[in-house]
Amino acid sequence: MTPLPSSPASPLAPSHATAPLTATPGTPGTPGGAPEPSAAGPRHRPLPIAPAVLAALRGTDDAGRPAVPFADPEGGAPLRCCLRRSRPGESLALVSYAPLRRWAAERGAEPGAYDEQGPVYVHAAECGGPAGGQGYPFLRPGAVRVLRRYDARGRIAGGRLLELTDAPDGGLDAALDEAFEDPAVVLAHLRFAEFGCFQYEVRR
């Protein structure tokens, strides 16, 4: 999982991606402002953390710790509230989030030992969520992701490593189509392969 910040002066985990990203000043997106590739009209909807859950996490996170805001000195943190990367100077919080637990509470499911939590970056205050028309977030050709499948009980029903392609959707449409071909699969998580951190969920 993404290492926790060691001090207020260095709140970002080392390299939120697997390789440096080229910056273009003045444009929102990756460190320094370069936009990330995104797909127009993905076949599956990437879901940010729900507003009510975000409001709770900004108080006390899923590990029972208070959120501590900090000013992002570099930009590039993957924000699960609005599914984009942060810009330098934005006020963020690194909180512990239990995505399967939150989903199971909505559905009355019992994931049992499959429940887990980990660190995610969010804006320290309400941000309005993802921009309209946004495709799959955090795309970078060659980056490796984990696609994990869950059944209606919240139990792991399969998974795979996925190397993102240079297609506009990064190859995620086909990978998610494949995941949901199994009628038992109702939920999928995308995760960073390096640290195992949760990116977003997709529901049937």
Q: Kindly state the percentage of the chain with pLDDT values over 70.
A: 80
Chain centroid offset of residue 49 CA: 9
* Tokens at 193, concatenated: 């392969």
Summarised one tens digit per residue, pLDDT across range 85-96 is 999 999 999 999
Q: Is the pTM of this model over 0.85?
A: no
Residues 6-25 have pLDDT tens digits of: 333 333 333 333 333 222 22
CB 121 within 8 A of CB 108: no
- Tell me what pLDDT residue 2 has: 41
127-163 residue pLDDT tens: 999 998 789 999 999 999 999 999 999 999 999 999 9
Q: What is the mean pLDDT of the chain?
A: 84
From residue 57, alpha-carbon distances to 50, 87, 188 in Å are 10, 21, 22
pLDDT for the residue numbered 11: 36
Query: What is the Cβ-side half-sphere exposure of residue 86, based on CA atoms within 13 angstroms?
Result: 28
